[in-house]
Amino acid sequence: MTTSSACTTPPKESKPGDDVYNYNCALMTDCFLFFNFLDAIKEGDGARIMRQYKYIMLYCKADGSHSTKYALKCLYQFFLVHALLSQRDSERFVWNRSVNNSGKKGTNIPLDEDTEHSNNFIKQGIRNLGPNVTENTVQRLSHAESPTASILANLDDSIKRLLRSGKHSTANLERDLNELVKRAVEFNIFTELEGRSYKQFTSFKRDRLANLDASSLHHWINKHKKKHYMGN
């Protein structure tokens, strides 16, 4: 009787990855996602904003406990749009996310930013009141904000007054950008080369959603759906 030795297949050796390539590809993905989100706000594209929130929710969920509240914030928006609000209010929620005060294309700003501008305008009026500040005067200032701002804008336009931009000043980044591009070309960061590594980002994964468990995601969504249904 002959016995044959069992054939064992040696485990496949995993190839060393490229942390430099993976990190920079992931960085570019994040940048495109963020810039797409900003562009959707500028264009007042409510449907695209909601699509971006889907990606952001997945990113936050994959980040684990570090971004739980942000993932929930995104999820609750979808609850409002698809379940909790009436059809009319849902449409308003989706498309009333930004405001255009200039009338030009691609110049929408978020509603909360517009509220900050409004608050600053009223605060300036309150400061001009000096010691005459009362609750009634502040209420009158608030009610008169829109027509006052319109009158001032028309006056500035008629006298061709140049207004300073409300944007924060930024330093000239051309030299820094040129240096970054030079180093990117020098290290060939967008060509995958085995064995390159970072000290702080060892075994970096290119796909930010690689750790996202679809089953756990569905369980998490259903759990919060049930909590809303039960009124918790």
Burial class (CB in 10 A: 0-12, 13-18, 19+), 77: middle
Burial class (CB in 10 A: 0-12, 13-18, 19+), 52: buried
**229, 51 Cβ separation under 8 angstroms:** no
d(CA 94, CA 80): 10
Would you write out the chain's pLDDT as a tens digit for each of its 232 residues? 444 444 555 555 556 789 999 999 999 999 999 999 999 999 999 999 999 999 999 999 998 888 999 999 999 999 999 999 999 999 999 999 999 988 889 999 999 999 898 888 888 888 888 888 888 888 888 888 888 888 887 887 788 777 665 565 566 788 898 999 999 999 999 999 988 888 888 888 889 898 899 999 999 999 999 988 887 6
pTM value is: 0.75
d(CA 43, CA 40): 5
d(CA 232, CA 224): 9
d(CA 50, CA 48): 5
